[in-house]
Every structure is written in structure tokens, then in C-alpha cells.
Amino acid sequence: MMNPIDNLNKLFDSRVRLGIMSALMVNEGISFNELKELLAITDGNLASHLKALEENNIIKVEKGFIGRKTNTTYAITKPGTKAFKAHLDALEKMIRATK
């Protein structure tokens, strides 16, 4: 039997990234500031995690303007949804296996 831990995606191996993914799964798009408030972390910390997820095509960035202020929103990509669901399945299997 395959070890279920192998199915866990290393990309989601952080509380912040799990938080970002959970919020994006149930919202069409969330702005940088809203994510920051939800997760209660610093700009730099959030930006680095978002960058990593973006580089792996898990999330996509849309840059827009509200008046003169920049408004960056983030949304989950199709491969991102698939990867996160697979990660959740793996978590579930692990819980069942170790019960």
C-alpha cells in the first residue's frame, strides 16, 4: 500500500497557504488587503506565500484600480482547485488510516 503522506502536496504545507487556499476555494476573488485581514499576517509574509502559489499556477493575480489606488485580487486556478482537492483527499485518507 502506498503511504498516504506521499499524496500530500508540499506546496500546501503551511498554515498561511492553507488559509489562502481555503478562503479562495469559497470566494471568486479576494483582494490582498482582505486576505491580510483574514489571516492576520504582515504584508511581506503574505506576499511571499502568494508569490509561491502563483509561480506554481495554483492561484492567479488580477491587477486593477479602484480610483487611483491599485487593487490586486487573487483567485484560484483550475489546476489549483484540483491540487487542493487532492490535498484534502490525502488528509482525509490519512485520518482514516491512523484511526
Beta partners for residue 30, in sequence order: 74
Residue 3 as a binder of other proteins (CB under 8 A): the answer is: no
Residue 85 as a binder of other proteins (CB under 8 A): the answer is: no
Q: To the nearest whole angstrom, how small is the minimum distance from the Cβ of residue 33 to other proteins?
A: 9
Residue 11 as a binder of other proteins (CB under 8 A): the answer is: no
Residue 15 as a binder of other proteins (CB under 8 A): the answer is: yes
What ranges make up the beta strands (E) of the chain? 30-31, 59-66, 69-76
Residue 94 as a binder of other proteins (CB under 8 A): the answer is: yes
